[in-house]
A and B are shown apart, each in its own frame.
Chain A
Amino acid sequence: MSESLLDIRNLNVSFQTFAGTVNAVRGVSLTLEKGETLALVGESGSGKSVTCRSVMGLLSKNATIEQGEILFRGSNLLAKSDKEMQRIRGKEISMIFQNPMTALNPTMTIGKQVAEPLRLHQKFSRTAARRQAQELLELVGIPSSTKRLNDYPHQFSGGQRQRIVTAIALACGPEILIADEPTTALDVTIQAQILELLKELRHTTSIIFITHDLGVVANVADRVAVMYGGRIVEIGKVEEIFYNPQHPYTWGLLRSMPTLDDKDGELYAIPGSPPDLLSPAPGDLFATRNEYALQVDAHYEPPLFQVSPTHYAATWLLDDRAPSVIVPEAIAARRQYYRQRQTGLTAKEGLL
């Protein structure tokens, strides 16, 4: 089996806070292949941001990597010194952050900010970097005359700023782009534009896309990892996750999205609140909110069960000894579509 581009193995990260130790990431393993877009889905506290920040080496000072390896093209990033990581950041692995309004330095021209990685990593001269910066901005859809390069971030809208941030991230042609909720703060029409931009990149750059919006996931992702309470609870190809979901949390997420064609009635809401990672309860952290919880969930955390060579879910429901459950209606409808789809009988046009 050929080597994955990125291979995270059993990552465990904890934070020291005033209130105590928080285990933010508890044994996360995933891979990213060349040319694919992997979506990391989860809510606050799920550990998705911390996982990606660990890859970049951008964790805060009170974080400890307890265990695990992050292999990038075979070598462990966690074993590298900060100086070595500086050479990788912005050059081979780049990151886009959530808030475009605060991501750019307000007192530096955007031309300089876009040119910076080029001058830093690839030793471009000032004029060459400027020229390349202009091309990069055109690439991300910011028509840029030389005059525009001298403008400051506050002269651009939120959507434009996010494009500039993307240009910066792409400047040195990185192998991996990590996008941490890049469209959450943007309007829906601007979001659509940014997503299109990212999809154009899929052939040259592998992308890890963090979000909590399942609609966005369906739009951009090849594979999906659903995270809860610091662990991956389900991972698989995008069609497997959306049409054949196995984990009750995934069911809950899918059901609580109001889609434009809902029948009237109450919107499904996952009961309860996100888990307390300061003093986590024993067993499965999702158990208290899980209407399909089994007795064993209160004692033992479920391991990842295989559904297909590409699809795994961490739920005791998949154990051979588990009783069969009646799946919610919306999920059953999805599964039915999935079965039809697999047989090739229906065209792949979606659930509607």
Chain B
Amino acid sequence: MTTNISDLLRVEGLTQTFKSGTGIVKAVDNISFSVYEGETFGLVGESGCGKSTTGRTIIQLYKPAAGSIFFDGVNLSGLRGKKNWLQFRRDVQMIYQDPYASLNPRNKIKDILGEGIDVHKLAKGAKNRNRQVAELLETVGLNPDHANRYPHELSGGQRQRVGIARALSVQPRLIICDEPISALDVSIQAQIVNLLKKLQQEKRLTLLFIAHDLSMVKYISDRIAVMYRGKIVELGDARKIYHSPLHPYTESLLSCIPYPDPDLEKNRRRIIYHHHEEASGSLHQIFPDHYVYCRPSDVAFYQQKGASKEAGGLDLVSITPTNTGILEGVVE
């Protein structure tokens, strides 16, 4: 993959496995991607595809079974020394899914927010610290009075804002958002997403947005990667992928999202994805900055497919290549 803008995060050949009953499950199977500085990169997929595991491995909650993770050019497996790790922990932060479980119920909000500040010694004295906490609360749209409250006094949306403030408290460069809105009410989801977008622009953050809500991910992301069973099946510009998906799994996924449009829904047909083990596949470039998981011999087919879609020929129907039986999109 070419790197024109600087890669803040680069993942190469990342594999993560877990022991399960009889054997070993490959939660993440040899994936590679880069996140450019200042962009929002969306990682999308259904449950079990490995997206959350990827996020947690990047932030070093697990050690990868294989592969490397580079942050700002530095290989994390070679990171040594307390000072370097402390810096890493400042640079990369995480926002969690469950606003009810991720805040310590025994701590006041100001202590939750102050913890990071204290660990990294970002404030000189209590007064300065309190001011930083108040500023953080305002930044995420909360009343600074909330500093003296406990988590259970806040609503789900407010708690998630606290989670965001907590991540921001140490002035990070990259924030990994692990399903930050799925546990929230619909009208609150939009608020949080707008907040994240605004913060990203104001503070020049880089976001890795992990979610299964495809519409939201497309809205907030610049580029996205679609994951299925531990592999990235398609990677590229967010809008392009949604308008003309190439990989049959992406097509199937998009065909299942319901629209708030009854007439359209009555006429739509779901595309079913039939999975075949493609042992010899990997990510290949189809168009500049648009990659699909396939064999080298299928690249031409996908280029043709993409071109036809651009021309407006194909709609929700998927075509099969004439030479192989591996790729199948069946219209139901």
Contact = CB atoms under 8 A, between A and B. Distances in A.
Do A and B touch directly, given a CB cutoff of 8 Å in the complex?
Answer: yes
Interface of A: 43-44, 158, 187-192, 195-196, 212-219, 221, 238-239, 242-243, 252-254, 256-262, 266-271, 273-274, 341, 348-352
Contacts of B267: 349-350
Given A219-B265, A260-B242, A349-B267, A188 B256 contact: yes
A215 B260 CA distance: 4
B259 A259 contact: yes
Contacts of A188: 46, 212, 214, 253, 256-257
A221 B265 CA distance: 11
Contacts of B259: 215, 218, 259-260, 350
Contacts of A269: 187, 190-191, 193-194
B261 interface: yes
A196 B260 CA distance: 17
A258 B218 contact: yes
22 contacts: A44-B185, A187-B46, A188-B46, A192-B258, A196-B270, A215-B257, A215-B260, A217-B260, A238-B262, A242-B262, A253-B186, A257-B186, A257-B215, A258-B219, A260-B214, A260-B257, A266-B194, A267-B194, A269-B187, A269-B191, A273-B157, A350-B263
Across the A-B interface, the 3 shortest Cβ-Cβ residue pairs: A350-B264, A215-B258, A269-B190
Q: Please report whether the interface of chain B is mostly helix, strand, loop or mixed according to DSSP.
A: helix
A214 B260 contact: yes
B299 interface: no
Contacts of B266: 348
Nearest to A351: B261
A77 to B, nearest CB: 30
Contacts of A239: 262-263
A351 B254 CA distance: 18
B295 to A, nearest CB: 24
Most chain-A CB neighbours within 10 Å: which of B46, B187, B194? B187
Contacts of B212: 187-188
B252 interface: yes
Interface in B256-306: 256-267, 270, 273
Interface in B185-214: 185-191, 193-194, 197, 212, 214
Contacts, number: 124
A221 B157 CA distance: 29
Contacts of B263: 239, 341, 348-351
Which of A158, A218, A349 has most chain B Cβ within 10 Å? A218
B186 A43 contact: yes
Interface of B: 46-47, 155, 157-158, 185-191, 193-194, 197, 212, 214-216, 218-219, 242-243, 252-254, 256-267, 270, 273
Given A43-B185, A350-B263, A191 B190 contact: no
Nearest to B256: A192
A269 B190 CA distance: 5
B188 to A, nearest CB: 7
A190 B48 CA distance: 13
B262 A218 contact: yes
Contacts of A242: 260-262
B261 A350 contact: yes
A218 B190 contact: no
Nearest to A266: B194
A152 to B, nearest CB: 14
B261 A218 contact: yes
Given A219-B265, A239-B262, A260-B218, 4 more contacts: A189-B46, A216-B258, A256-B187, A274-B155
A259 B47 contact: no
B156 to A, nearest CB: 8
Contacts of B47: 158, 187
A214 B257 CA distance: 11
B162 to A, nearest CB: 14
Contacts of B254: 260
Contact of B187 (A196, A253, A261): A253
Nearest to B267: A349
Interface-central residue, A190, A217, A219, by most chain B CB under 10 Å: A219
A7 to B, nearest CB: 25
A158 to B, nearest CB: 7
Contacts of A351: 261, 263-264
A258 B215 contact: yes
Contact of A349 (B157, B188, B264): B264
Nearest to A41: B186
Contacts of B155: 273-274
A257 B219 CA distance: 10
Nearest to B266: A348
Contact of A43 (B187, B191, B215, B265): B187
Contacts of A221: 262
Nearest to A249: B187
Contacts of B216: 258
A12 to B, nearest CB: 24
Residue from B218, B243, B273 whose CB has the most chain A CB atoms within 10 Å: B218
A270 B190 contact: yes
